[in-house]
Amino acid sequence: MILESFHRRYGNERAVRVFRAPGRVNLIGEHTDYNLGFVLPIALDLACFVASADSSDGRLRIYSEEKKQSREWPAEEVARLKRSGDWSDYVVGVAQELIRAGYRLEPKSLLIRSTVPEGSGLSSSASLEVSSALALLTGRQIPPLELAKLCQRAEVDFVGLPCGIMDQYVSIFAREHAALKIDCRSLENQTVELPDGIEIMAVNSMVKHALGQSAYKERTEQCAEAVAAIRRLDSKVSSLRDVTVPLLEAASETMPKLIARRARHVVTENERVGLFVNACARADLDRMGQLLVESHLSLQHDYEVSCPELDFLVDTAVGIGGVLGARMTGGGFGGCTVNLLREGTGERFGNAIVSAYEGRFGVVPQVFECYPSRGAGEEKNFESIPSSAALRG
């Protein structure tokens, strides 16, 4: 039980409360969020749990069960801490943003337990940020959109990854049994019911290429370069969100070919989100699957954020009976694929993909069934929190 672990580490501090924030899998709309476009993620039942109690000696203490590491500081020094380059940055970054937004940082002891595999593209960072923020606030109210923006700022400004808002947003706003279409410009969302007769599975390639961080930043710069070129033709354009395929074609000559390809991914991917949502409403499962594959090809060839392991997983998946479509999900360069299957075919799919991947790369991939779960909040049912022994598997 998380409470026992907490008491073992911190003694019998005052009342312990636990806050949960889920990871996510993005169904479609990849690398569109920082272009102010559309995304369609679901939250997972994989989540980060942070147990929290007031500490009586003025210090902030944090402990990660996964890393088996602890950090502590006098609470009043947290505002001045510098980035350390490890997991604690997510908590410190969020604490500093809370302080900047006017929330006093109370001395606390926190214990972090996460079931979201790190580096898997399932948003372990955002789930840590959001659950830590809730734990630091411990019941003090914060408007959910402010929370999402504040956690994103922590990642951009303190951790140093210029990410969009998708991961933090869905971790907070997600609904059970449905996907969330997020407009990353207006920051409004729409619940998208998924049709009956499907299963969603994520497959973790277990690789994390070092290129990921620098390439992510490079992509954001390339998108800005495309916008600058297109604006010379149409001054109303302020992000790739505003660009249509014909406008991009007209502007393509005015930018390097590579930049035009990057922009083509974003522009067509935004369209695919709308098409996918329509296909969901019609319960057109084949079309939904086809759009996932088109998204992958665009990420692979135009945006170039895939890798051989992800391409292998997608190519293999689409040849397995019952698979409607598959694509890489998240930032890329490793992490997971998301797979859309006909209901009842999950087990067969899992076995087939594991043996093919192991045969090719000598690594056993993790396979997760994905059930759209609710967004972040206080977890009162302590029994439902996985034990750390279960995490070690």
Does 309 help bind ligand GLA (rule: CB under 6 A)? no
Does 166 help bind ligand GLA (rule: CB under 6 A)? yes
d(CA 271, CA 282): 17
User: In terms of CB distance, is 109 or 123 closer to ligand GLA?
Assistant: 123
Per-residue binding letters, 327-366, with ligand GLA (x by CB under 6 A):
---xx-----------------------------------
DSSP string, 117-155: -TTSSS-HHHHHHHHHHHHHHTT----HHHHHHHHHHII
Is 234 catalytic? The answer is no
User: In terms of CB distance, is 163 or 323 closer to ligand GLA?
Assistant: 163
d(CA 280, CA 275): 9
d(CA 2, CA 111): 8
Of the ranges 129-137, 160-168, 175-183, 289-297, which one interacts with ligand GLA (CB under 6 A)? Answer: 160-168
User: In terms of CB distance, is 34 or 357 closer to ligand GLA?
Assistant: 34
In degrees, rounded to 5, the angle at the alpha carbon of residue 301 between the alpha carbons of residues 297 and 304 is: 110
Query: Interaction with ligand GLA in 21-80: which residues (CB under 6 A)?
Result: 30-31, 33-34
User: In terms of CB distance, is 170 or 323 closer to ligand GLA?
Assistant: 170
CB of 33 to ligand GLA, least distance (A): 5
Of the ranges 7-15, 95-103, 110-118, 159-167, which one interacts with ligand GLA (CB under 6 A)? Answer: 159-167
Token duo for residue 366:
């993790």
Q: Which of 289, 223, 225 has its CA nearest to residue 33?
A: 223
DSSP string, 175-217: -TTEEEEEETTT--EEEEEPPSSEEEEEEEEEEE-TTHHHHHH
Sequence-ordered list of residues with C-beta below 8 angstroms from that of 318, at least 6 positions apart, any chain: 293, 325, 326
Residues in the interface with ligand GLA (CB under 6 A) total 10
User: In terms of CB distance, is 167 or 302 closer to ligand GLA?
Assistant: 167
CB of 30 to ligand GLA, least distance (A): 4
Tell me which residues are annotated as active site: 167
Residue ranges that bind ligand GLA, judged by CB under 6 A = 30-31, 33-34, 163-164, 166-167, 330-331
